[in-house]
Amino acid sequence: MAASIGLSLLFLSAGWATLPTRNPPPTWVYRLPDPGSVAAADAIPVFIMRADRSTLRAGQANVKADGRIDVTLYDPSDPRLIDGSEGLLFNADLRVLWLMASEEERAQLQRGLEKLGRGLREAVDAVLRSPEFNEDYRSALTEIGRETIEAAWRDPRTRAAYEELLRSAEPVLREAVGRDLKAIVLKRAEPLLWEMVSANVGSLFSVFHAHQWDLTPVEQAMDAIQRDVRERALIEKTAQRILDSWQAKDFLRTFAGNVVDAVARDTRLKDVLARLLTDQRLGPYLSAASQPAGELARMTPQVLFGVHPQSDLNALAAYTFRGFVTGRPGPLIILMNAQRREEILALDRQSPRPLLHGTAQ
Amino acid sequence: MTATSTSLDIAGLTIHRPSGALLVRDATFTIGPSEVVLLVGPSGCGKSTIVKLLGGLLDTGREGWAVAGRLGCGGRSIDLGQERSHVGGIVFQDHALFNDLSALENLRIAADHAGGAPDPELVSGATALLGDIEPRKTIASCSGGQRQRLAIARTLLADRPVLLFDEPNSGLDVNMARRLGELIRDLCQSMGKPALVVAHHVKDLLPVADRVLLFDTRSRRLVEVPRDAEIIEAELLKLDADGGAPTATGAAPAPAAAPAQTVQPRRNPWPAAIGHRSKLYWFGRYMAEYFWELCVSPLMLIYMGAGALIMGFVSMWFGFHYNSFGGYLKSLLHDETLVGLGLVQGTVAVPLISSILFVARNNAIIAADIGNRVLSSQFKAMENLRIEARTYIFSSILINMVVGSLMLLVLSLGVASWSSMQTWHLQFPQQNFELWRGQFFQKLILEGYRPASSMGWVLLKVALSAVLAGAAAIVIGGGRKDSVLEINSAIARSIIIGVTLTLLVHAVISVLTL
């Protein structure tokens, strides 16, 4: 009998020890610097950042409507919390994982991205230079491109926008010619007169002999005018003024839209692209991009999500991943020391929101 | 002891077997008060059937034995073809003592169901046989002679007008058989009750018999013969030679009864110990007995605890290690995996393994227990003693199957949860246990420790499978048993059927509540 009672009590106490703690009092209280910027929420996960920048789930928090945040820690006596009470509020997206990565990890990812970019460029170049592409696709794609651009150009809406652009460009051109170009020309015209006289003075007094006029000063003046125009970036400034006008933007928008519409309507393009993308002959030309792409695909989850066979739990990555998959990224809080907080804020002033220490009421 | 001076009159008794064959024809005899009559005949001729009939244990009716004739006893006349006779208290051939009760409890239960408070003189007289037996002794530790006397005392305490002895000297040596015969005669004389003693071996009992009835298997009649051993044996030999009786199988050699111990004169503790208890007490007694046996015996708890421990470990270890992406995504999918494992473990895996372990073990016990009671005629003895076996035993078993299955489910869930939590901590040693607690119970326990509604279905399937399996074990164990081999077979069948029913109930309810 005693053995049975003992065993029953042992089993019950084992089970009791597994039950979750309900409604424990908050350990720490924070407040948002701008109450109302975050909606009230329950059971926000709280993490603590360790010395190696990895995070550990440490509790949960409730955000009240007045901006007060009650943080309940799993283990308030955790020694890591002594120097880790500065809180940052994040949204659970890839940005937070990027910020939590070490400088070395971020540099590693950037190197991977650059390598992939180079590889892609090489791959595209190789495809465009390949005989298969030139024989089977180039002419077709060029023809389609030309026809779609022509079709878009002929479109009445494009023509109307272009006319409007010309009308708006005329005063700009007139002003450029009348003010800037005139000043340059006049500046060069006065010396030109005397240089012409000086160069052709012999000819002026030898009226019975047919001499050619020396036009070298004129050519020099023209070169100087062109140089001045270049130095003052007169053409660029005029073109920039034209392009900054709403008429130019409207024209470009209308034209681009009509090109896209024409491309979408063109069934030949779909056929050509389908053949191009499934053309196994072009596969070898893409090898320059496949290796860096594979490396980046392997490296990114390892760096950001901590995914490898023997990994302990990366609760931050798990929570972020869930938000990513469900499309509902919620807020989260990471506790850290002041130095870390400043480092993260130096990287990104917008995404993380520093929490102020509050007092329990 | 009160002398009742009752006689037993049987007139025109005819019995046909369920197969239609004639057992006995037109038997008429009288046994007077204090008279001891021997009923002899070849083995298997039907002597015990007559005893069962007089003790009210023969199933008559359309599908059973066909009986005609009248019985008169104590001024009451019974049509044996229409109603049961309860005039006889039977001392069974194999004693049919209740071996789950102590020696004292065997007598107490008989006295408490005899109707009203027991007569002190009757108690004193019946227990006078038991001076050398320690009341708290278990039946298993009693010698053959002690069991014989306990069975007689129990039948006497039932206080029936007629005493019926079914081969009481079977397996006893000569001295013990003679002492038994003297005991029977003394009891009849002191109580004034008639006794019918069925005997195959007559020599030892002949000196105490007043008359001898021979079961003539040729004419199927009861014939009175002289009290002469040689004549009786000659008649029996003739019957055997004529093949009127089935081939005698002979009694299995029973262990020799222990020689009578030298009893020191001392006060008989039995009468004071017997007392009187209500039927509720006996219901509680059987409830407690089966509660211990089916629910909380230490071995049962260890067995269930080990099952839950293993289940908790297996689900958590393999749940994280052998999912589709191996260990790669265990970190990313940790929370969802933990919530899912908690739900599956709490609502499907642990309830199922707990039910299977519980049913397999208890169905074996129930089938063995009931089968043993059938084989050793304990149910017949209970019926003869007017003890409600169904109320006490069957309902105790079924109630304890339900209560025990739910109780052990709670304990199993506790152990499995603890095992899961520790296994999880092995895999994620840096994480706080509270993280596991929050995720694992997310779909099982709501705010304020309120169980989720799915737990109601869990309780239903566990309780339903336990009660169905228990009922199957009772039915299988309660079937006809002629040997220990049949009990073994019943145990195996009850485990298979019980576990199958459990699987079906769990599967159906789990699918319905998906």
Q: What HEC string does A193-246 produce?
A: HHHHHHHHHHHHCCCCCCCCCCCHHHHHHHHHHHHHHHHCCHHHHHHHHHHHCH
Contacts of A306 in chain B (CB under 8 A): 331
Inter-chain residue contact B328 with A307, CB threshold 8 Å: yes
- The answer as to whether A346 is a domain residue is no
Residues A326-350: tens digit of each pLDDT:
888 888 999 998 888 998 888 888 8
Phi and psi, residue A95, nearest 5°: -60, -40
Strand partners, B14: B68
Inter-chain residue contact A8 with B430, CB threshold 8 Å: no
Instruction: Work out whether the CA dihedral A81, A82, A84, A86 comes out positive or negative.
Output: positive
Residues B72-94: tens digit of each pLDDT:
988 888 898 888 888 889 988 88
| Chain centroid to CA A96 | 16
B446 SS3 class: strand
Residue B304: closest CA among B367, B370, B365, B351: B351
pLDDT of B266 > 80? The answer is no
B13 SS3 class: strand
pLDDT of B364 > 50? The answer is yes
Domain shared by B477 and B333, yes or no: yes
Which of B214, B246, B276 marks a domain boundary? B276
B119 SS3 class: coil
3-state helix, strand, coil in chain B (%, to 5): 55, 15, 30
Task: Kindly give the interhelix angle for B298-321 and A2-16, rounded to the nearest 10 degrees.
Answer: 20
Domain shared by B299 and B248, yes or no: no
pLDDT band at residue A190 using 50, 70 and 90 as cut-offs? low
Domain shared by B285 and B250, yes or no: no
- Range in A217-221, A255-259, B302-306 the model is least confident about: A217-221
Query: Considering only residues 22 to 41 of chain A, which have any Cβ-Cβ distance to chain B shorter than 8 Å?
Result: 22
Inter-chain residue contact B327 with A8, CB threshold 8 Å: no
pLDDT of B259 > 60? The answer is no
Of B297, B428, B437, Cβ closest to residue A18:
B437
Ramachandran quadrant class, B243 (left: phi over 0; alpha: psi -120 to 50; beta: rest): left
Q: Are B177 and B256 in contact (CB under 8 A)?
A: no
In this predicted structure, what is the pLDDT of residue B242?
Answer: 63
Domain shared by B327 and B459, yes or no: yes
Mean pLDDT of chain B: 86
Using the Cβ of A309 and the Cβ atoms of chain B, whether some distance falls under 8 Å is answered with: yes
Mean pLDDT, range B438-445, rounded to an integer:
88
Q: Which range of residues forms the domain containing residue B230?
A: 8-254+271-276
Beta strand pairing call for B211-216 and B36-40 = parallel
Beta strand pairing call for B8-16 and B88-91 = unpaired
Using the Cβ of A333 and the Cβ atoms of chain B, whether some distance falls under 8 Å is answered with: no
Using the Cβ of A14 and the Cβ atoms of chain B, whether some distance falls under 8 Å is answered with: yes
In this predicted structure, what is the pLDDT of residue B289?
Answer: 94
CB within 8 A of A239, min separation 6: which ones?
none
pLDDT of B305 > 50? The answer is yes
- The answer as to whether B259 is a domain residue is no
Label each residue of B44-80 as H, E or C: CCCHHHHHHHHCCCCCECCCCEEEEEEEEECCEEEEC
Using the Cβ of A310 and the Cβ atoms of chain B, whether some distance falls under 8 Å is answered with: yes
Mean pLDDT of chain A: 82
Residue A332: closest CA among A342, A343, A322, A345: A322
pLDDT of A212 > 70? The answer is no
Domain shared by B334 and B445, yes or no: yes
Using the Cβ of A16 and the Cβ atoms of chain B, whether some distance falls under 8 Å is answered with: yes
Domain shared by B222 and B289, yes or no: no
- The answer as to whether B265 is a domain residue is no
Of A8, A306, A318, Cβ closest to residue B296:
A8
Domain shared by B298 and B360, yes or no: yes
Residue B428: closest CA among B414, B416, B440: B440
Of A4, A308, A318, Cβ closest to residue B328:
A308
Using the Cβ of A2 and the Cβ atoms of chain B, whether some distance falls under 8 Å is answered with: no
- The answer as to whether A87 is a domain residue is no
In this predicted structure, what is the pLDDT of residue A144?
Answer: 86
- Whole-angstrom distance, CA of residue B13 vs CA of residue A339: 109
Contacts of B334 in chain A (CB under 8 A): 313, 315, 318
Inter-chain residue contact A60 with B438, CB threshold 8 Å: yes
In this predicted structure, what is the pLDDT of residue A213?
Answer: 62
B400: closest CA of chain A, how far (Å): 16
Q: Identify the DSSP state of B223.
A: E
Strand partners, A46: A59, A333
Residue of B nearest to A20 (CA): B437
Contacts of A22 in chain B (CB under 8 A): 447-449
Contacts of B299 in chain A (CB under 8 A): none
In this predicted structure, what is the pLDDT of residue B293?
Answer: 92
Residue of A nearest to B327 (CA): A309
Domain shared by B94 and B199, yes or no: yes
Number of domain units in chain B: 2
Phi and psi, residue A28, nearest 5°: -130, 155
B101: closest CA of chain A, how far (Å): 18
Mean pLDDT, range A124-131, rounded to an integer:
86
Which of A8, A9, A12, A18 has the most B C-beta neighbours within 10 Å, making it the best mutation to test the interface with B?
A: A18
Inter-chain residue contact A20 with B445, CB threshold 8 Å: yes
Inter-chain residue contact B434 with A74, CB threshold 8 Å: yes
Q: Identify the DSSP state of B38.
A: E
- Whole-angstrom distance, CA of residue B452 vs CA of residue B441: 10
Rg, C-alpha atoms of chain B: 30
- Whole-angstrom distance, CA of residue A199 vs CA of residue A147: 56
**Which is more confident, A209 or A22?**
A22
Tokens of B306: 């080990």
Phi and psi, residue B335, nearest 5°: -60, -45
Strands ordered across the beta sheet of B211-216: B88-91, B162-166, B195-199, B36-40, B211-216, B221-225
CB within 8 A of B142, min separation 6: which ones?
B103, B133, B150
Domain shared by B244 and B384, yes or no: no
Q: Identify the DSSP state of B499.
A: H
**B125-164 burial: b if 16+ Cβ within 10 Å, else e:** bbbbbbbebebeeebeebbbbbbbbbbbbbbbbbbbbbbb
ipTM of the complex: 0.76
Q: Which range of residues forms the domain containing residue A231?
A: 132-200+211-305
Residue B380: closest CA among B57, B48, B47: B57
Alpha helices in B253-297 (DSSP H): 270-274, 279-291
- The answer as to whether B206 is a domain residue is yes
In this predicted structure, what is the pLDDT of residue A353?
Answer: 87
In this predicted structure, what is the pLDDT of residue B249?
Answer: 32
Label each residue of chain A as H, E or C: CHHHHHHHHHHHHHHHCCCCCCCCCCCEEEECCCCCCCCCEEEEEEEEECCCCCEEEEEEEEECCCCEEEEEECCCCCHHHCCCCEEEEEECCHHHHHHHCCHHHHHHHHHHHHHHHHHHHHHHHHHHHCHHHHHHHHHHHHHHHHHHHHHHHHCHHHHHHHHHHHHHHHHHHHHHHHHHHHHHHHHHHHHHHHHHHHHHHHHHCCCCCCCCCCCHHHHHHHHHHHHHHHHCCHHHHHHHHHHHCHHHHHHHHHHHHHHHHHHHHCHHHHHHHHHHHCCHHHHHHHHHHHHHHHHHHHHHHHHHHCCCCCCCCCHHHHHHHHHHHHCCCCEEEEEECHHHHHHHHHHCCCCCEECEECCCC
Query: Considering only residues 71 to 130 of chain A, which have any Cβ-Cβ distance to chain B shorter than 8 Å?
Result: 74-75
pLDDT of A301 > 70? The answer is yes
| Chain centroid to CA A276 | 29
Inter-chain residue contact B441 with A20, CB threshold 8 Å: yes
- The answer as to whether B286 is a domain residue is yes
Domain shared by B247 and B368, yes or no: no
Strands ordered across the beta sheet of A86-91: A353-354, A86-91, A331-336, A41-49, A55-63, A68-73, A28-31, A356-357
Type of residue found at B175: N
Number of domain units in chain A: 1
| CATH code, B121 | 3.40.50.300
Inter-chain residue contact A8 with B411, CB threshold 8 Å: yes
Contacts of A56 in chain B (CB under 8 A): 430-432
Interface size between A and B, measured as CB pairs under 8 A: 119
- Range in A312-316, B289-293, B454-458 the model is least confident about: A312-316
Inter-chain residue contact B414 with A322, CB threshold 8 Å: no
Ramachandran quadrant class, A141 (left: phi over 0; alpha: psi -120 to 50; beta: rest): alpha
Type of residue found at B171: G
Domain shared by B296 and B201, yes or no: no
B450: closest CA of chain A, how far (Å): 11
Contacts of B433 in chain A (CB under 8 A): 74
Contacts of A7 in chain B (CB under 8 A): 298, 301-302, 305
Phi and psi, residue B277, nearest 5°: -135, 155
Domain shared by B78 and B223, yes or no: yes
B350 SS3 class: helix
Contacts of B316 in chain A (CB under 8 A): none
Q: Are B397 and B287 in contact (CB under 8 A)?
A: no
Contacts of A72 in chain B (CB under 8 A): none
A65: closest CA of chain B, how far (Å): 22
- The answer as to whether A252 is a domain residue is yes
CB within 8 A of A124, min separation 6: which ones?
none
